[in-house]
Structure 1
């Protein structure tokens, strides 16, 4: 099938050039749920674009009857961030104009919904489908205030203008997948929200980091957090509902790299997940992979105790036992003494989860993460 391709203008530069998004919409023969998938929200995290390219190729070879509902794909979803450079290095994690993290700017309806308890009480006798539609209508009505502000003569700052264009694409979705990478170098994993653990194995990634606390400003959080809040309110009233609404951030490999293994894992996991959700009708059924669900506080970060050069560091994915050497720090001094080699050992057992790209560190700078198991 041929996707519907649309272009959405984001902003006009002083040079007269326009910055835009391109959206690929695969619409099945049968109406159904909407899936929204984007990549490259942080400028250096490019691997998701290759995943989306493979998805476009795969879906283009399907018949309309093999898709229920809609699948929207947005590669290079932050062109402003993608084009940021510092010497040879891609940056784009922070907006160069105001310093804000591109993934901490999004609109969280829960923070604005002052009558959630009242709304939940008004829905207590409704079926889940009706409650979802009524709440979605409420979210979209509040969202109009954001759009109105954009149209005022005073307008809005660039981060708010950007979020309005991007979030407008997914507010009515059922499933959101935001593809990222480590800003450094990392294994492949996903973030998982509480009460959505049952779906995690279908993404076919070995590790899922469970959210415990979140402020709602990240893209995946801003989408799902209002629905989790409504579920909690309804549960207080004795109505235990899990809406079929999910949000995932896939962390695939390392920044500035197109790792073939990470691309393959991301692509296969998304296809399997969409099959599990009955969005795709394929010959092969979805399978549940083996996933390690790990609390977020089990990630232990190691920082350089002094300045120097990192050497003999354990590779990604290595299992370390408490007391094992994680890395050596070659430390120089200006005290008429020879350089010193310092062994840094693991405080607890776990796997090397994430490592810094730069092997030259000042005191207190990040070196690696250990994931306790």
Structure 2
């Protein structure tokens, strides 16, 4: 059966100079196979991924594994502990204001230079090993920067060192009030069908700082460069995804087991687990290209009732939300409706009933299609 190793890694130090550790669970199978990296809670309020990892561990204790799976729950203990009253404010580094999920490393020029060093006879396996070694050295160089780096970036680079060794990377997140959805690189579109997730956002090869992009963008670009050089398709078989599993500040063990089985279905299809360990459900999957994933902002502030629920199919002109203006309770300007500007599917909405003008009220699928 699998070997399980529990480690702790230091991701930060608090103001008292004490190390802040997070657990790392490493499952190593008896048979060779792909390497998988899964982390959760890079944003402090997004806690459901920890339950998913717990459920995965329960399964992996009893399922023979091919290769290795590395699990890092609660990977950002700083963010998890930033509380304001009842709420967790763990989306941004409190010192520098940086989004905890935007400090990963990507250097296009370095990738182009590496591609030029590849001769026509070098094997794909050799290329992968050399490329991983070079990127990981660059990550260590960044961590050793003489002038230092910000807390969020340091945390990100430590995690990226672990993730870049993997063939498959899953970053577990939650929306504010949200339905399940997944970010998938366009070249891995078919893999979206392996998860039990009904809403799919197809993203281009554009690095915006997140872990999934920091993983697949280098390999995607390298694949294009080497394929052009050799005049044949070269696939390094590396994929990375951001899984959004419902709403933040909510934990549900039953839903966590469902999502764990969804991940097991993906891992089964990728030959990490024995055939038929878990199969994806037959569900309708709606997909959208990132350019058609639209944000609806509020034109005016007020108190909001969210009428359209995440995942609901909405037609143009249907009421999305009703807004109350407390300065006009005595006249016919007290309320107004926010209408859908087109046919859409709301994927998430702002968590509070009190909104300022210019608030990101809803994020929506438009121009969507079945995958």
Deviation at 1:47, TM superposition (A): 0.5
Q: Relative to structure 1, is the Cα distance of residues 338 and 332 closer, same or farther in structure 2, using a 3 angstrom cutoff?
A: farther
Equivalent position to 2:354, from 335, 351, 360? 360
CA contact (8 A) 1:205 1:265 kept: no
Deviations 1:301-324 (A, max 9, x none): 222221211126122222111111
For 1:105-144, what aligned pairs fall within 5 Å after superposition? 105-110=103-108, 112-113=110-111, 115-119=113-117, 122-144=118-140
Calculate the TM-score normalised by the size of structure 1. Answer: 0.90
- The equivalent residue for 1:95 is 93
In 1, Cα distance between equivalents of 2:61 and 2:277: 18
CA–CA separation in structure 1 for the residues paired with 2:353 and 2:101: 26
CA distance in 1 between partners of 2:347 and 2:276 (Å) = 35
| Secondary structure, counterpart of 2:262 in structure 1 | helix
2:39 is aligned to: 38
Distance 1:312 1:31 in 2: 50
Higher deviation after alignment, 128-137 or 69-78: 128-137
Q: Is the 8 A contact 1:188 1:262 kept in 2?
A: no
SS in 2 for 1:14: coil
- In the other structure, the counterpart of 1:7 is 8
Report if the CA contact (8 A) 2:168-2:240 is conserved: yes
Moved segments of 4+, more than 6 Å: none
Where do residues 293-372 of structure 1 align in structure 2 (5 Å cutoff)?
293-311=287-305, 313-333=307-327, 337=331, 339-372=333-366
In the superposition, relative to structure 1, how do residues 288 and 262 fare at CA in structure 2: closer, same or farther (>3 Å)? closer
Unaligned stretches of 5+ residues in structure 2: none
Q: Partners of 1:318 and 1:67 in 2: how far apart?
A: 38
Q: Within 5 Å, which residues of 2 pair with 1:153-192?
A: 154-182=147-175, 184-192=176-184
Q: What is the CA–CA distance in structure 2 between the aligned matches of 1:306 and 1:173, rounded to whole Å?
A: 46
Q: What SS class does the counterpart of residue 333 from structure 1 fall into?
A: helix
CA-based RMSD: 2.2
* 1:24 equivalenced with 2:25 (yes/no): yes
Take 2:209 and 2:275, find their aligned partners in 1: how far apart are those partners?
36
**How many angstroms apart in 2 are the aligned matches of 1:161 and 1:371?**
34
- 1:369, CA displacement in angstroms? 2.4
Q: What are the equivalent positions in structure 2 for 1:81-92 lying under 5 Å apart?
A: 81-92=79-90
- 2:249 aligned with 1:256, yes or no? yes
Q: 1:156-183: CA deviations, max 9, x gaps?
A: 432333233222212211111000000x
Contact 2:267 2:273 in 1 (8 A): yes
Aligned residues: 364
TM-score where L is the length of structure 2: 0.91
Deviation per residue, 1:88-133 (Å, 9 max, x gap): 10111000011000000011143544514513xx333333223322
